Structures are given as C-alpha cells and as structure tokens.
Amino acid sequence: MKKEVKVHSLFSDFDISLFRAGKHYRLYEKFGAHIMEVDGEKGVYFAVWAPSAKAVSVIGDFNYWMEGEHPLNVRWDESGIWEGFIPGVEKGSKYKYKIHSNNNDMKLEKADPYALKCEHPPNTASIVWELDYKWNDKKYMSSRKDKNGLDNPYSVYEVHLGSWRKNMDENRSLTYVEMADELVSYVKEIGFTHVEFMPIMEYPYDPSWGYQLTGYFAPTSRFGDPQEFMYLMDAFHKAGIGVILDWVPSHFPEDKHGLGQFDGSHLYEHPDPRKGYHPDWKSLIFNYGRNEVRSFLISNAVFWLDKYHADGLRVDAVASMLYLDYSRGDGEWEPNEHGGRENLDAISFVRDLNTEIYKSFEGVQTIAEESTSFPMVSKPVDLGGLGFGMKWMMGWMHDTLEYFKKDPIYRQHHQNDITFSMTYTFTENFVLPLSHDEVVYGKRSLLVRMPGDDWQRFANLRLLYSYMFTHPGAKLLFMGAEIGQYEEWNFDTSLDWHLLEYEPHLGIKKVLTDLNKLYKTRPALHEKQFSAEGFEWIAYDDSQNSVLSFIRNGKDPKNSLVIVCNFTPTVLKNYSVGLPAGGKLKEIFNSDDKKYGGSGLKNKVLKIEKESFHGREHSAQINIPPLGTVVFEIL
C-alpha cells in the first residue's frame, strides 16, 4: 500500500538550468535528504538524479524497506530528478533508493549520493541527518588568508585517522572527539602548520585507506558522527592549525550500493571503458564531459570547504585524470579531437573546479598530486594553467630517496640526483612530499632505507629532514616518520609510540620540532619559497666531499640564511664557504646537535673574512658535522 508522498521541490527553474549546464556548485542544498516542515507536517524531502529510471522509491526502516511504499515523483522538465516530501520521517532514519530502471527492467538498491551520514561499514544504508553545529573558529577563519598564503610557512602532517593511535584497552581507533584532544595537541607540539587527512569521506573497504569512496558528502562513521568531525575541525582551528582533506574525484568503486550503474545506466561513469574504467584500481572513472557529473563533483568539493570549514583539498591522482592513455597500452585508449593524449573534458573540469574554489573561499588552497610534467598545474586558469595552488614535487621525492639509500661512499658519483630538483623547482608551487605512498608495499620505512649502522641511519634521517626543510617549497611528512618508525605503515595497527622511550627516536621528534620552528620563524625559509629570488647556490659541484651549500632569501636581505649539507660521515673542518657579505656567521641550527643524538660538532660565532671564494668577495671557514646540516645567519 502506497503511503503519502507530497509533491514538493527545492529546485527552481534556475537550479535546473545550472545543474544541466554543469554550473550548479551547491547541489547539496537541493539533493539528498532534508529535514523540514511542509504544510504543518514535519518530515523529510528526498531528491535523487536517476534519468534512466521508470520508478524510484524511498525504502527505509520507517517502511520496513518495502518497495513502492513511498514512491518519488519525477519532475516534468526531463531533468531526471525524482523528488518528494515524506511526512513523519525523522533524523536518524535509515534509507536507500529503490530504483526500477528502464534498462533491462533492472531493480537496484542505492545509497544516497548526497547522504550526510552513512551506516558504519560493512552496512551500507544512508542516514537522515542535519549539519547543525555552533562553530567556535571565527577568529581563525577571519585570519585564515594570512596563514595559508604562498608566502607563509606550510608544513603538513599527513594522517590516517584509523591508525595514528589506538585505544589499546579497547583495541580500537580513537574517535573524532578523542583526536580533538590527543591529535591536535600532538600536531601543535611538533609545530606543523597544517594537518592533512587521508580521505575521511565514507568508504566501504578498510584496505583502500579511504581512496575508494561511496559516501562523498559524509565523514566516515568509523570515528563518530558529522558533528563530532566538525568538533575535531574546530579544535584544530582553535589551535591555529589548518586542515587539508584528501579528495578523490579521479575514480570510484563498483560496490553495488554506490555510484556505479546508478540508475541502470552509465550515469556517473563514462560509458566508454577506455575512459570509464581504471585498470590499475579496478574502479570506475567519472564522466567529466557530462555536465550533471561536473556539478556533482564541484559541489562536493565546495561542500567540505563550506560546511566543514576545510582549509584546502589535496586532489588525488590528478595525472590519471589528465591523460587518456594513463596506464593504458596501444589500442586501449582513443586520442582527443586534436589527436593528443590529454583528456580535454577532465582539464576543463579541473579548471572549473579551481576557479570556483578560489572565487568563493578566501584563504584556501588546492593541491594537486600530479606525477608528470604536465605544464602549469599550479598556475592561474586565466594564464592557461590548471589553477591549483600547489603541486606535489614527486620528482624531488624520488630523486632524494634514491640518493639517500646509497652508501655515502658512492654519493660522490650521484651529486646530480640531489641537485637536479633546483633546475625546475620554481616552475610550479611545489610541496615536498614524504607521504604514505613511500612507506608501503615493501618500500620499507624511511629510517630502514637509510644506509649504515644505527647511528648513521638516524643521522641520515635527520639530514634528510634538514635538507627537506631548507629546500624551497612547502613540506609534507607522513605520520610515523617523525618518530623514526622501523616498520612500514600498516593501516590496521597503531604507530609504534613506544619507540619514543629511546633517545635516537626521541631525537628525530626533537629535530623535526626544531625544523618546524626554524621554518616558521625564519622568513628566508618561507617568504619566497616559490620564487627563484628565494634561492642562491653557493656551491653545488663539490661532489668529492658530497657537500651542498646555498643561501635562502626572504623579502629583507638582512634575513638571509646560509645552509651547508654534508652527505657523508666524514667530519669536514675549516671548510671554506663563499658568502655574500661581511660581518659574522652565527650557527642557528645543527642536525648533529647532541640533543638530537648527534656527535655535537658545532661552530662558534665566526668572523667573515674579506677573502674571495666560490666567486664571492667574502668567505668563512666552518666545521661541517658528519651526515649533518648546519644553518647560519649573518650578523
């Protein structure tokens, strides 16, 4: 027996025209389940896009999951939207859409693509919810543009919420509320300016780490409800820490309750498997040329910035979107209309995405994980770029880790590996990433990849982080790297916090804390981190000693810093370094300090002599510690 479903709509004609044109970027205000009152009755308005359906019903715990009890009405305007108001449905009610397709008369049960809350996996129902929350981050939000600008320090701690720390008594992950205390205080203690969450949108399969999404508008229920996630975001902001969310518009899984074959047709995915199926991840690829899909995706990005106050989105797997031949052999892809390999629809989508975000949200950043040399990824759209604020520097990561794994005795033959990044570092606004991808699948942890005995391994790791923090660009480090994990990351277990009982591991944490402080307090390290004016080589060609020396500049020349790195365990005393001016040279950071577990070789305040060296009129003789980085200021 059919129950009452009232004709009601949140869509105006203008909404429909924007949706169909691919220009409606607030669809979460229209689609989904909305608690409201109609004609004096409280209930829920439902709306879903299913143009290939012949009938759509809402099934849920309020009608015993019976098809046809609450049928929705299809709009007259051929938009493919089914909608209606069901009296009596309340917050917390579980529901799905029962879709009877015109395609082979299929019947499908689908979760709501716009659901604000989902059941805890492996259950798959959507849950009626509201996003009421009293935010306490007005002070942070009003000054966010001053914290997130490209001339500010941008040091990111990448986190997988399920495995950062466990409640060992109950053998479970921490909740959003528990993390608002423990994770926030920890990130603040070490001094990172931002935290980045691997995808927190609802996902069905734990080993996917969140990169196979089914609930695009719902924070995962594994750790709490939406308001509790807002509480965590709020806590970070009150501590002055920005939050970046990983966002995945590149592909989605084939789970039966998800977006795939949503109404019995290729609704969200591209119908051509050469463009709509990802062979590596065995997942479906969005149809970037379909306007309604573009509206869905851009609305989703906007949603997290709007409703959850996110400070940025790190966009996953951008390269897989940009190229038609990505991970495909000959005959497995079709060139674009110009005969090229670029996915023109995806490029257009990305430009629309970034244009909308930067127009509507002050002080946010979008960051591309893009692993190729695609041009102008982080350049403005109006100049022909893709419009991202920053891009991961995958080449730096690869070359640097390849260099560091070599025994220091052989590094003199690979000097180019460690200097090559400077030939292109200012072509984009780069983030230097040592991410989760570098400590899985047999790659081993960063510490274990370092050569030598235990002392040398820890010294190499301190040297790696020091080189990273003095190199131009923003920084990103995956959790566990700051305590010198021995084991590869395992999504199912906690980090090895007991390691901090041992001095060498505690030294790694201390050196990163001091590097964050140095990066934040010394303008030369961040004010011009994306400009060639912010960097000068002193000498990059001392391959015999495996030494690099360079200058970092800020807006005020008086703030310039001199950095010298020694990539061998040989102590270098009275090493001459050419300098830009006279005065005195004062050591302000040394990765070989005893408090970090180093040998303690330091430099007193040195007089700069008017003796030419390295093509400069002044120079000084310094001591360079083994496997160490030394940072000086000129007085």
Q: Are 192 and 156 in contact (CB under 8 A)?
A: yes
Per-residue pLDDT, 76: 93
Do residue 451 and residue 564 come from a single domain? Answer: no
Q: Are 393 and 438 in contact (CB under 8 A)?
A: no
Do residue 509 and residue 543 come from a single domain? Answer: no
Strands 312-315, 365-368: pairing is: parallel
Q: CA 229: distance to chain centroid?
A: 17
Per-residue pLDDT, 2: 59
Of 461, 492, 525, which residue sits at a domain end?
525
Q: Rounded to an integer, what distance in angstroms lies between the CA atom of residue 456 and that of residue 392?
A: 28
pLDDT at 325 over 80: yes
pLDDT tens profile 373-422: 999 999 999 999 999 999 999 999 999 999 999 999 999 999 999 999 99
Q: Please state the rounded mean pLDDT for residues 429-455.
A: 95
Specify the CATH number for the domain of residue 97.
2.60.40.10
- Assess if residue 315 is contained within a domain: yes
Of 492, 508, 525, which residue sits at a domain end?
525
Per-residue pLDDT, 169: 83
- Is 199 in a helix, a strand, or coil? coil
Q: Rounded to an integer, what distance in angstroms lies between the CA atom of residue 629 and that of residue 624?
A: 8
Whether 228 sits among the annotated catalytic residues: the reply is no
DSSP state of 92: T
Do residue 301 and residue 434 come from a single domain? Answer: yes
- Assess if residue 193 is contained within a domain: yes
- Assess if residue 467 is contained within a domain: yes
Q: Are 311 and 244 in contact (CB under 8 A)?
A: yes
Per-residue pLDDT, 377: 97
pLDDT tens profile 98-107: 999 998 889 9
Per-residue pLDDT, 3: 66
Q: Are 255 and 204 in contact (CB under 8 A)?
A: yes
Quickly list DSSP for 530-557.
TSGGGEEEEEEEETTTTEEEEEE--SSG
Amino acid letter for position 301:
A
Do residue 114 and residue 181 come from a single domain? Answer: no
Q: Please state the rounded mean pLDDT for residues 160-176.
A: 93
**More confident: 10 or 171:** 10
Tokens representing residue 347 in the block: 């490029």
Strands 215-219, 201-202: pairing is: antiparallel
Specify the CATH number for the domain of residue 447.
3.20.20.80
Counted domains in the chain: 3
Which residue is it, tokens 């001016």? 581
pLDDT tens profile 251-271: 999 999 999 999 999 999 999
- Assess if residue 267 is contained within a domain: yes
- Assess if residue 403 is contained within a domain: yes
- Assess if residue 287 is contained within a domain: yes
Half-sphere exposure of 383 (CA within 13 A, CB side): 9
Do residue 171 and residue 30 come from a single domain? Answer: no
Handedness of CA 115, 120, 121, 123 (dihedral sign): negative
Number of H-type helices and E-type strands within the chain: 14, 31
Do residue 448 and residue 423 come from a single domain? Answer: yes
**Residue-range definition of the domain harbouring residue 623:** 532-634
Instruction: Give 170's pLDDT tier (boundaries 50, 70, 90).
Output: confident
Per-residue pLDDT, 497: 97
Do residue 202 and residue 322 come from a single domain? Answer: yes
pLDDT at 56 over 70: yes
The region of weakest confidence among 4-18, 181-195, 451-465 is 4-18
pLDDT at 1 over 60: no
Q: Please state the rounded mean pLDDT for residues 508-525.
A: 98
DSSP state of 55: E
Do residue 305 and residue 417 come from a single domain? Answer: yes
SS (H, E, C) 2-45: CCCCECCCCCCHHHHHHHHHCCCCCHHHCCEEEEEEECCEEEEE
Do residue 284 and residue 429 come from a single domain? Answer: yes
- Is 194 in a helix, a strand, or coil? strand
Do residue 358 and residue 420 come from a single domain? Answer: yes
Mean pLDDT of the chain: 96
From the list 269, 369, 482, 587, the catalytic residue is 369
Q: Please state the rounded mean pLDDT for residues 137-164.
A: 95
How many Cβ atoms from other residues are within 10 Å of residue 555's Cβ? 12
Cα dihedral 255, 258, 264, 269 in deg (nearest 10): -90
Q: Which residues contact 66 (CB under 8 A, 6 or more apart)?
A: 59
Q: Are 552 and 472 in contact (CB under 8 A)?
A: yes
Per DSSP, which regions of 304-435 are E strands? 312-315, 365-368, 390-392, 430-434
Tokens representing residue 622 in the block: 């310094």
From the list 202, 292, 316, 399, the catalytic residue is 316
Whether 496 sits among the annotated catalytic residues: the reply is no
- Assess if residue 316 is contained within a domain: yes
Q: CA 222: distance to chain centroid?
A: 20
- Assess if residue 319 is contained within a domain: yes
DSSP state of 413: G
Of 498, 525, 552, which residue sits at a domain end?
525
Q: Are 72 and 84 in contact (CB under 8 A)?
A: yes
Do residue 397 and residue 483 come from a single domain? Answer: yes
Do residue 510 and residue 554 come from a single domain? Answer: no
